[in-house]
């Protein structure tokens, strides 16, 4: 192909933008110089030849196509990014991303003197299984309260380990079994237990009975990944953090604070 033909081809593709005044100074100079020397292109732009409106329409079409192409590329990119974030969320634990993004107010304490100072909590629990105070305990072996909350999400981890005298232990066990669903046959927990909430790792609230030691563990969790658990994992529900098909021993979602979710 001759050099003149190459320049002619380039100039022809620039005509729509040239007619709209959208070409760069260098491109404008190339088009105008070529028009002075090329009879063929002079005829293309001569009155009565190809209407200028057709070039403008072509330029408009090209702009729309360019915008559509950019929007498609952006949509594909955002779709891939969303899929990657959802995959990370599933791998790392339910609501993992929300917990990292949305937490604003953080309250952590391990002081039993601050027991039941939970004013910052905005979740769904009524804390029925937890004793009104610690005066009935022989000793508090461990207490830990962690609440990360925002307008979007509440992440709670509340753990209380109490020892009792034999009489006090039986009285507290009786109170708990009257207030919560029992799991004394250990189908849902590795130890005899009772629970007021059981939604896999979204929201769990339960008490575990350690008969030989006359101890009771009170636990409440909301939106806590397994790798954030502060206590022995053997005290978790057997299906905690499960994904896909639930195990055979998984209970129906249960929360005594939401009547429409009762089994």
- Do 144 and 255 share a structural domain? yes
Domain span at 167: 97-261
Three-state DSSP class for residue 256: coil
- In which residue ranges of the chain is pLDDT below 70? 1-7, 9, 11-12, 15-16, 20, 44-66, 88-105, 151, 200-201, 242-252, 258-263
- Do 146 and 27 share a structural domain? no
Structure tokens of 153? 């999400």
Query: How many angstroms separate the CA atoms of 31 and 38, rounded?
Result: 10
- Do 172 and 128 share a structural domain? yes
Name which of 102, 128, 93, 90 is nearest 201 in CA terms: 93
Q: Is the pTM higher than 0.85?
A: no
Q: In the prediction, which pLDDT does 1 show?
A: 41
Residue pLDDT, tens place only, 100-159: 555 556 889 999 999 999 988 888 889 999 999 999 999 999 999 999 877 677 889 999
CB atoms within 10 A of CB 194: 22
- Do 111 and 30 share a structural domain? no
- The domain boundary, picked from 92, 110, 137, lies at 92
Domain count, the chain: 2
- Do 85 and 104 share a structural domain? no
Residue pLDDT, tens place only, 90-99: 655 545 555 5
- Do 101 and 73 share a structural domain? no
- Do 222 and 108 share a structural domain? yes
Who's near 55: CB < 8 A, 6+ residues apart?
A: 15, 16, 19
Query: How many angstroms separate the CA atoms of 16 and 60, rounded?
Result: 9
């Amino acid at each position: 192909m001759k050099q003149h033909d190459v320049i002619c081809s380039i100039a022809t593709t620039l005509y729509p933008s040239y007619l709209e005044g959208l070409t760069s100074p260098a491109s404008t100079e190339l088009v105008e110089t070529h028009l002075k020397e090329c009879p063929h292109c002079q005829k293309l732009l001569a009155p009565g030849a190809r209407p200028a409106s057709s070039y403008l329409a072509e330029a408009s079409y090209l702009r729309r196509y360019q915008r559509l192409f950019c929007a498609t590329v952006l949509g594909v990119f955002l779709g891939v990014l969303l899929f990657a974030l959802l995959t990370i969320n599933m791998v790392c634990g339910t609501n993992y991303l929300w917990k990292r993004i949305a937490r604003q107010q953080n309250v952590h304490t391990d002081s039993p003197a601050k027991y039941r100072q939970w004013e910052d909590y905005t979740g769904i629990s009524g804390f029925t299984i937890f004793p009104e105070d610690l005066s009935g305990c022989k000793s508090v072996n461990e207490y830990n309260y962690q609440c990360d909350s925002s307008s979007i999400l509440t992440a709670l981890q509340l753990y209380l380990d109490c020892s009792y005298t034999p009489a006090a232990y039986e009285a507290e066990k009786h109170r708990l079994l009257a207030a919560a669903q029992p799991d004394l046959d250990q189908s849902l927990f590795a130890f005899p237990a009772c629970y007021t909430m059981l939604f896999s790792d979204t929201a769990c609230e339960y008490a575990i009975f350690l008969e030989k030691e006359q101890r009771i563990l009170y636990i409440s969790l909301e939106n806590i990944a397994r790798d954030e658990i502060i206590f022995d994992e053997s005290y978790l529900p057997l299906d905690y953090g499960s994904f896909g098909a639930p195990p055979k021993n998984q209970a129906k979602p249960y929360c005594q604070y939401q009547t429409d979710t009762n089994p």
